[in-house]
Amino acid sequence: MMEGAKENMEALGYEGDYFEGKKLVADSNYSSPANLSQCKEERLDAYIPDIRFRKRDERFATQERWRLRRTKRFILEDFHYQKETDEYVCPNGKILRSRRKRMIVNGVIYRRYVANRNDCSNCPLKSRCIRGNVIQGRYLGVPVGATPGNLIKEMAEKVDTEKGRNIYHQRIAIAEPVFANIKYGKGLDRFTLRGKIKVNIQWVLYCMVHNIGKILNFGFE
């Protein structure tokens, strides 16, 4: 996406380093060591939160009420930790024991806790805990640290500041109305052509109409 943005700006007569120091905001699906490393190389002032950032933001404390009323899968907070034995107890009262081998995912260090397979196979709460067939017992990955130079951790600290949160939440007002307008205002709720080339042409045409409307309403810098 950055390469495409660079090409667009260069076509308008701007230099290749136009984006250096500019703010880049993206949602948590773009949070990865590779993307954050690229942002550093491009010298971007990036704000890309990790997938847990809403749990740390008090403004999302009431988000449960907006979720669909459906059976939810048990998460880490549903398991009770027993410090004296270093074990977790599941909602059905079964034990998950520590496996000393740690996992590292995206620079985050996790400790694994695993339940007995037989306990999970016969559990009446299995549908809320394990997806598909029971190959092994339910396991929990509990974050216990981060590797040195962890870009995701650094970004989380940046986004969690008052300045970071204010900048990140501007993304909602900038990006989401575009898709809402194209889908509901312009009526593109599904593509009517087949093949990647034709679909791309249809999408670009709708984007052009959207952009022309913005220019008419707000002007062009």
- Structure confidence by residue, pLDDT tens digits, 123-155: 888 888 887 666 678 888 888 877 767 888 889
Within a domain: 122: yes
Same domain, 99 and 133: yes
- 214 falls within a domain: yes
Residue 136 placed within a domain = yes
Provide the residue range defining the domain that includes 94: 76-146
**Residue 58 included in any domain:** no
Alpha-carbon span 50 to 30, nearest angstrom: 9
Question: What's the structural domain count of the chain?
Answer: 3
CA–CA separation, 138 vs 122, rounded Å?
Answer: 12
- Show which of 28, 48, 68 is a domain's final residue: 48
Considering the domain architecture, whether residues 174 and 137 belong to the same structural domain is answered as: no
- Whether 18 maps to a domain, the answer reads yes
- Establish if 93 belongs to a structural domain: yes
Question: 201-216 burial string, b = 16+ CB within 10 Å, else e?
Answer: eeeeebeeebeeeeee
Q: 177-219 pLDDT, tens per residue?
A: 898 999 998 999 899 989 999 999 999 999 999 999 988 888 7
Are residues 131 and 91 both part of a single domain? Answer: yes
Query: How many Å apart are CA 109 and CA 31, to the nearest integer?
Result: 17
pTM attached to this predicted model: 0.62
